[in-house]
Chains A and B, each alone.
Chain A
Amino acid sequence: MSAMSAIFASGPNIGRRGLASWLAGLSAGGRAAVLAVEVLLLLVVWQLVVGVWGLVNPVFFPAPLDIARGFGELVASGSLAANAAISLQAWLIGFALAVVVGIPVGLLMGGSLPVDKVVGPIAWTIYATPTIAYQPLSKAWFGFGIGPVIFLVTVSALFPILLNVAAGMRTTSPSLLRAGRVYGASRFELYRKVFLPSTVPFLFAGLRQAVVLATIGMVVAEMTGSSSGMGALIIKAANTYQTDQAFAAIFVVVIWSVSMTQVVSLVERWTAPWTRKARR
Chain B
Amino acid sequence: MTTTTIERPEPGASAPLISVRNLTVSYNVARTGKTLTAIEGVDLDVREGEFVTVLGPSGCGKTTFMNVIAGLVKPTSGEVLVDGRPVTGPGPDRAVVFQDYALLPWRTVFDNVKFGLEMQSRLKGDGWRDRVQEAVELVGLKGFESSYPRELSGGMQQRVGLARAIVAEPRILLMDEPLGAVDALTREVMRDEIEKLIAATGKTVLFITHSIEEAILLGDRIVVFKSHPGAIKEVIETGLERPRSERSVQSEPRFLELRDHLWEALQHEATAAARVAGS
B105 — nearest CB in chain A belongs to which residue? Answer: A274
CA distance A273 to B107 in the complex (A): 10
Q: Could you tell me if B100 and A175 are in contact, using CB atoms closer than 8 angstroms?
A: yes
A184 in contact with B106 (CB, 8 Å): no
Q: Which of B90, B105, B107, B168 contacts A181 (CB 8 A)?
A: B90
Q: A184 near B150 (CB under 8 angstroms)? A: no
Q: Are B116 and A184 in contact (CB under 8 A)?
A: yes
CB distance from A192 to the nearest CB of B (A): 11
B267 to chain A, nearest CB (A): 31
Whole-angstrom CA separation of A194 from B106 in the bound complex:
9
Q: Could you tell me which residues of chain A, from 146 to 184, have a CB within 8 Å of some CB in chain B?
A: 173, 175-176, 178-184
Chain B min CB distance to A242 (Å): 51
Q: What B residues does A181 contact at CB under 8 A?
A: 71-72, 89-90
Judge whether B39 is part of the interface by a CB distance below 8 angstroms. Answer: no
Cβ-closest chain B residue relative to A272:
B106
| Given A182-B94, A183-B168, A278-B150: A194 touches B104 (CB 8 Å cut-off) | yes
User: Which chain B residue shows the least CB distance to A175?
Assistant: B102
Q: Which of B65-124 contact A (CB under 8 A)?
A: 67, 70-72, 89-92, 94-96, 98, 100, 102-107, 115-116, 119-120
CB contact between B120 and one of A176, A179, A184 (< 8 Å): that residue:
A184
Give the secondary structure class of A's interface. Answer: helix
Instruction: Confirm or deny: A38 has a beta carbon within 8 angstroms of a beta carbon on chain B.
Output: no
Tell which of A176, A189, A197, A274 touches B119, judged by Cβ atoms closer than 8 Å. A189
Pick the most buried of A183, A189, A197, A273: most chain B CB atoms within 10 A of its CB. A183
CB within 8 A of A182: which of B72, B103, B107, B148? B72
- Shortest CB-to-CB span from A132 to chain B, Å, is 40
- Is B106 touching A274 in the complex (CB atoms < 8 A)? yes
Chain B CB within 8 A of A185 CB: yes
Given the known A-B contacts A197-B106, A200-B106, A274-B105, are A183 and B98 also in contact in the complex, defined by CB atoms under 8 Å?
A: no
Given that A175-B98, A176-B102, A178-B98 are contacting pairs, would A185 and B119 also be in contact in the complex, using a CB cutoff of 8 Å? yes
Is B151 at the interface (CB under 8 A from chain A)? yes
Q: Give the residues in chain B near A189, CB-CB below 8 Å.
A: 119
**Complex Cα spacing A184 to B105, Å:** 18
Q: List 21 A-B contacts (CB under 8 A).
A: A173-B102, A175-B100, A176-B104, A179-B98, A179-B104, A179-B115, A180-B119, A183-B119, A183-B120, A184-B90, A184-B116, A184-B120, A185-B119, A189-B119, A193-B119, A197-B104, A197-B106, A200-B106, A274-B106, A274-B107, A278-B151
Chain B residues in contact with chain A, CB under 8 A?
A: 67, 70-72, 89-92, 94-96, 98, 100, 102-107, 115-116, 119-120, 148, 150-151, 164, 168
Could you list which residues of chain A lie within 8 angstroms of chain B, going by C-beta atoms? Answer: 173, 175-176, 178-185, 189, 193-194, 197, 200, 272-274, 278
